[in-house]
Amino acid sequence: MLIMKITTTPLEGVIVIEPDMFEDNRGFFLETFHQQKYKEMGIDRQWVQDNVSFSMKGVLRGLHFQVKKPQAKLVQALQGEIYDVVVDLRRDSPTFKKSFSILLTGTCMTQMFIPEGFAHGYCVISKNALFAYKCSEFYSPSDEGGLLWSDPEIGIEWPFFNPILSPKDQKLPRLSEFPENWLA
């Protein structure tokens, strides 16, 4: 029996997961991952790496992906509020170039499953945030790809006009500038 609410999104394969939290006067308890339950909902991946990121308000990380070793991700805000975004880079998908965004908070612990073939990024809208994600493939610096956060062809409505970006993220290409081998 699944103990969570599952919602599909307009992007095929991207799923929003709202786990049940068991709260009392001591705090709360929830499962953040249960292999059999996730497999029953169609998320059948071998997770090989867990990552945690801490960021301050206005920090935007992304939009990232791996080219030859694509990663599926299971993402979740553990503390604070994150404006989380995915962009479909699957050339043969009916939603190619489309994006989906969601508010993830440490209060409700909602997760999002992102299959391979998507660029992913997020922006911190609270004072700070702790963000966790599982990856189905190991991080490979030589295989990094990225999409400029403000690419007008994608048209993401971010909550900040001047986010705090890493030097690398400032120089990411627009979709029209992608090398041919970057798209699935």
Local confidence band at 3 (pLDDT 50, 70, 90 cut-offs): low
Could you tell me the CA-to-CA distances from 160 to 9, 79, 84, 103, 150 in Å, in that order? 24, 20, 13, 14, 11
Write down the pLDDT at residue 184: 61
What SS3 class is residue 139?
coil
Separation of CA 70 from chain center:
13
Neighbours of 160 (CB within 10 A): 15
Question: What is 4-19+40-177's CATH topology?
Answer: Jelly Rolls (2.60.120)
Return d(Cα 71, Cα 105) in angstroms, integer.
Answer: 23
- Identify residue 86 by its one-letter amino acid code: V
Local confidence band at 1 (pLDDT 50, 70, 90 cut-offs): very low
Write down the pLDDT at residue 159: 94
CA torsion sign for 3, 107, 84, 172 is negative
Decide: 95 and 71 in contact? Cβ < 8 Å.
no
**Helix ranges, 4-103 (H):** 35-40
Of 38, 83, 122, 133, the catalytic one is 133
The ranges assigned to domains in the chain are: 4-19+40-177
How many percent of the chain have pLDDT more than 70? 98
Average pLDDT over residues 108-119: 96
Decide: 121 and 149 in contact? Cβ < 8 Å.
yes
Average pLDDT over residues 15-38: 85
Average pLDDT over residues 102-122: 96
Closest CA to 106 of 76, 137, 148, 62: 76
What SS3 class is residue 60?
strand
HSE value, Cβ hemisphere, 13 Å, CA-based, for 85: 25
- What is the per-residue pLDDT across 119-146, written as a single tens digit (0 to 9) for each? 999 999 999 999 999 999 999 999 999 9
Of 64, 83, 120, 122, the catalytic one is 64
Asked if 64 is an active-site residue, the reply is yes
Return d(Cα 29, Cα 111) in angstroms, integer.
Answer: 15
Answer yes or no: is pLDDT of 24 > 60: yes
Local confidence band at 36 (pLDDT 50, 70, 90 cut-offs): confident
> pTM of the entire structure?
0.92
